[in-house]
Amino acid sequence: MDESYDVVVIGAGFGGPVAARKCALAGLKTLLLERSARPGEKVISGLTIPFYGFLFGPDFIRDGNPPIERPVDGIVNYIVKDIERGDIEVDDSLRIPRPLSPVLAFGYNAYCRPFCQWEADRAVEAGVELRTSVTVTELYREDSRVAGVITEDGKVIKARAVIDAEGSQALLAVKAGVRKKYPPDVISLADVYDYRMDKDRVDRILGFSNRFVWAWDEQRLAPPLGFGNGLMVWPYRESIHFMQDQCLKMERGGKAPNLARLFREYHRNITSKLPWWRDEIAPHAELRAHMWDSFEIYVGLDGELRKMPMCANGLLIIGDAAGLESTELCDGVPAAWFSAELAAETAIEAIFGGDVSERKLRKYQMRVESHPLIRWSISGTNRYDLRYAQKSHDIRLLRKCVHNGWGVGAFTHASTPLLLTALRAIQENPMVITSWLRMFPRYFRNWLFESFDPLSDDRPEVFRCDAYKAPKSTPGESTAAGGVPEHSSVVTEALAGPGTGGSAGVETLGTEEPSSVVATPGDPLKEARESRSFSSNEVINDAPLRGWETQTGSQISGGTLLRMAQKGLACLDGLVFMLGPALSGTAKLMEPLARLANPVATAALPVVEVILKGWRRMEPLLEPITERITRLLVESR
């Protein structure tokens, strides 16, 4: 007899586990199928997951301890006018200044493999049955209804509803005739390199900022603007990611460029000509993986493609498979999370209501289309503007487009959707406010101490991923010798330049201790952490271990601070709880006003920019405060 479930979810990437978990928690018998042997090992990405994905996405991620590689304070854009003469403009307006960052982060960089595994673990905890190494070959139909899936061995697994989270190719949905294959001009091919590099070097050179490079095509530095993302560099904990991408064809029916040759050329040029890469990174970076994947970032720019259905009788399609990869910031994870939750909600309602027909499930598509952030992210036109600017060779226009797409100018079109989403979240549950406040410092502390939730992993080890398995100790830089290192100069150096390292804290926002902080003596993880090499964070790791507070005679210890912060937050919890109905009501009343956010941001932008510029100039002066706050945050361990 065929197996039978309430819900079958296809794909344990970013979206699938979220949908599966929600269904299981509602009491539905849920199966999650993944074709790779371990979740996430076939997902290739950038990857910065922006703050709004975490704030407005699934609560178990926001309130949990997922494995992240580095908090990111924003983006530093390099606009290359003439590489031979070193004529390069910098736009770092979308960078949260210290001491707010990196505790208050623009987003979090992560590797897909541990992150997807972490999500899948949470789904299993909630009662989902996860099966890996199973490729779904077809959707199973009964009459016109999708009633399950067929796996590669020909087995039918029946389901009352199928949630398709198979990622951008959407092969199953295409095969079933629900969606159409995308044309090559909306598909971009990303060429990704992962380099290992010492953590202190990453801290010093890239700090907490992503680097984007924009250049005229003739310079052969980055793929043509508008058809690609320019070139992007992401700092991770002890590694960096380098990505260039370009769409497969400039126009439908045209000839495909020789991407293999072009990418090699771009890569050679950028690594040998761009000064900071050539001098600071190239001699010290060790290539450890070269990967590529295609993704659908231009789908949103095509009105016809955007209209394709996201559901059918018995079927809900989420994330990349539904074409939700953003044309605006090219981030697909938030939309995958949002749509996963909306799909699960709809499936739960439909199954309990006993009607999973397309008519009922269409509610999902309506919900997705009216989600302010999804709507904004898949319909923005910045990419067209950039393409136009590149063709025009007008530096002023290019500067403006980069600023609007990847600088603070983005708030002129993102403010309303962000505010609307926040107000809706508050209406649903006002307690989310304190959850937001807790998230940033917890994530930052988790990053400092590498105290993420441990990952289950049942396949024999073939890779060595330092951060999530037993970490290595760094000989020669161990703290065992006893002397206090000369750290202040390192901190100063790290905080001096724009976008360089250093760490800060918002001192009033302590959170509950992550469980792994209570390390037993001889705990290998703790030992490894203590002996890890830090530069700007050297202080951070050493301080609590050496009675740092007695050296500086600090009056208030981190422990006290933590207790105060916890009390403060608990009071706030109470207050929000009491004021709950009033807060929801106010949020509802404010919704129409949210529409003014974009025009207000546009009007206020010149002033904001001046303030931000001044603030960034002051960063070196603010450094003692930054350092002090960080130490308190560290002591609070």
Partner 1 sequence: MERSTGGVVWWGETGEFIQVNNTHCDGCGDCLRVCLGGCFALREGKAVVINLESCMECAACWYACEKGAVLYGLPKGGTGFATEYG
Ligand X SMILES: Cc1cc2nc3c(=O)[nH]c(=O)nc-3n(C[C@H](O)[C@H](O)[C@H](O)COP(=O)(O)OP(=O)(O)OC[C@H]3O[C@@H](n4cnc5c(N)ncnc54)[C@H](O)[C@@H]3O)c2cc1C
Using the rule CB under 6 A, which residue among 75, 165, 368, 494 binds ligand X? Answer: 165
Give residue 534's identity as a one-letter amino acid code: F
- Residue 229: CB minimum distance to ligand X, A: 9
CA distance 311 to 317: 6
> Helices 558-594 and 411-428: crossing angle, nearest 10°?
100
255 touches partner 1 by CB under 8 A: yes
Q: From CA 63, how far away is CA 512, in angstroms rounded?
A: 11
Q: Minimum CB separation from partner 1 for residue 132, in Å?
A: 7
Helix (H) or strand (E) holding 316, with range, is strand 315-317
Among ligand X, partner 1, none, the one that 385 touches (CB under a kind-dependent 5 to 8 A) is none
- Find the part of the chain contacting ligand X (CB under 6 A) among 35-43, 139-147, 551-559, 576-584: 35-43
11 binds, among partner 1, ligand X, none (CB under 5 to 8 A by kind): ligand X
Residues in the chain: 637
Q: Give me the least distance between CB of 508 and ligand X, in Å please.
A: 30
Least distance in angstroms from the C-beta of 531 to partner 1: 23
Q: Is 413 in the site for partner 1 (CB under 8 A)?
A: no
182 binds, among ligand X, partner 1, none (CB under 5 to 8 A by kind): partner 1
**CA dihedral over 191, 195, 199, 205, signed as positive or negative:** negative
Instruction: Return the closest-CA partner of residue 419 out of 563, 295, 590.
Output: 590
Q: What are phi and psi of 360, to 5 degrees?
A: -70, -45
Examine residue 571 and tell whether it contacts partner 1 (CB under 8 A): no
Look at residue 131 and give its three-state secondary structure: strand
Please identify which residue in 20, 22, 31, 34 interacts with ligand X, judged by CB under 6 A.
34
Tell me how far, at minimum, the Cβ of 158 lies from ligand X, in Å.
16
Q: Establish if 46 lies at the interface with ligand X (CB under 6 A).
A: yes
Question: CA-to-CA distance for 494 and 506, rounded, in angstroms?
Answer: 19
Query: Which one of the spans 313-321, 381-389, 404-412, 615-623 is the region binding ligand X (CB under 6 A)?
Result: 313-321
In this complex, which beta carbon is closest to ligand X, that of residue 242 or of residue 534? 242
Asked if 68 contacts 452 with a C-beta cutoff of 8 angstroms, the reply is: yes
Strands annotated E in 455-509: none
| Angle subtended at Cα 526 by Cα 523 and Cα 530, rounded to the nearest 5 degrees | 140
Decide: is 432 part of the binding site for ligand X (CB under 6 A).
Answer: no
Min CB(294)–partner 1 separation in Å: 5
By CB under 6 A, is residue 333 in contact with ligand X? yes
Nearest CA to 315 among 164, 89, 476? 164
DSSP 219: G
DSSP string, 14-80: SSHHHHHHHHHHTT--EEEE-SSSSTTTT-----EEEHHHHHHS-HHHHTS----SEEE-EEEEEEE
Strand-strand pairing, 209-215 and 228-235: antiparallel
CB of 324 to partner 1, least distance (A): 18
22 near partner 1, judged by CB under 8 A: no
Q: Does 286 bind partner 1 (CB under 8 A)?
A: yes
- Interface region with ligand X, contact rule CB under 6 A, candidates 28-36, 251-259, 438-446, 610-618: 28-36
From the list 258, 392, 551, 552, which residue makes contact with partner 1 (rule: CB under 8 A)? 258
Calpha distance 117→66 (Å, rounded) = 10
- Identified binder of partner 1 from the candidate list 182, 216, 227, 338, rule CB under 8 A: 182
Pick 243 or 509: Cβ nearer partner 1:
243
Query: What kind and span of H or E run contains 460?
Result: none
User: What is the nearest approach in angstroms of partner 1 to the Cβ of residue 287?
Assistant: 4
Contacts of 398 (CB under 8 A, 6+ apart): 79, 214, 225, 386, 389, 390
Fill in the per-residue mask, 240 to 279: x = in contact with ligand X (CB under 6 A), - = not in contact. Answer: ---x------------------------------------
The distance from CA 289 to its chain's CA centroid, rounded to whole angstroms, is 20
Distance from C-alpha of 172 to C-alpha of 146, rounded to nearest angstrom: 12
Q: DSSP for 96-128?
A: PPTTTTTTS-SEEE--HHHHHHHHHHHHHHTT-
The answer to the question of residue 544 lying near ligand X (CB under 6 A) is no
Q: Does position 398 bind partner 1 by CB under 8 A?
A: no
Beta bridge partners of 312: 315
Minimum CB distance to partner 1 smaller for 36 or for 229: 36
Q: Does 458 bind partner 1 (CB under 8 A)?
A: no
Stretch that binds partner 1, among 126-134, 359-367, 559-567, 583-591 (CB under 8 A): 126-134
User: CA triplet 486, 491, 492: central angle to 5 degrees?
Assistant: 105
Rg of the chain over CA atoms, in angstroms?
24
Q: What is the distance between the alpha carbons of residues 264 and 258, in angstroms, rounded to a whole number?
A: 10
Q: List the one residue out of 158, 138, 163 whose CA is nearest residue 148.
A: 158
Residue 44 lies near ligand X (rule: CB under 6 A) = yes
Is the Cβ–Cβ distance between 224 and 212 less than 8 Å? no
- List the single partner that 113 binds among partner 1, ligand X, none, CB under 5 to 8 Å by kind: partner 1
Count of residues of this chain found to bind partner 1 when the rule CB under 8 A is applied: 62
Position 15 contacts ligand X (CB under 6 A): yes
Of 293, 349, 477, 530, the residue at the interface with partner 1 (CB under 8 A) is 293
Select the binding partner of residue 283 from partner 1, ligand X, none (C-beta < 5 to 8 A, by kind).
Answer: partner 1
- Which strand ranges, in their side-by-side order, compose the sheet holding 209-215? 87-91, 74-82, 209-215, 228-235, 239-247, 188-196, 286-295
Using the rule CB under 6 A, which residue among 33, 402, 426, 576 binds ligand X? 33
Residue 2 within binding range of partner 1, rule CB under 8 A: no
Q: Which amino acid is at 50?
A: P
Contact criterion met (CB below 8 Å) for 194 and 291: yes
Among 117, 453, 190, 167, CA closest to 335: 167
CB of 8 to partner 1, least distance (A): 15
Stretch that binds ligand X, among 75-83, 165-173, 277-285, 386-394 (CB under 6 A): 165-173
Question: Quick one: what does residue 361 bind among ligand X, partner 1, none, with the CB cut-off 5 to 8 Å set by partner type?
Answer: none
User: Quick one: which of 194, 328, 623, 627 contacts partner 1 (CB under 8 A)?
Assistant: 194
Give which of partner 1, ligand X, none residue 470 binds (C-beta under 5 to 8 Å, depending on kind): none
Q: Return all residues near 585 (Cβ < 8 A) that are at least 6 apart.
A: none
Task: List interacting residues with ligand X (CB under 6 A).
Answer: 10-16, 33-36, 42-49, 135-136, 165-167, 172, 190, 192, 243, 293, 295, 319-321, 325, 331-334, 336
Task: List interacting residues with partner 1 (CB under 8 A).
Answer: 35-38, 40-45, 111-114, 132-135, 137, 151-152, 169, 171, 181-184, 187, 189, 191-192, 194, 196, 239, 248-249, 252-253, 255-260, 263, 271, 282-283, 285-294, 462-465
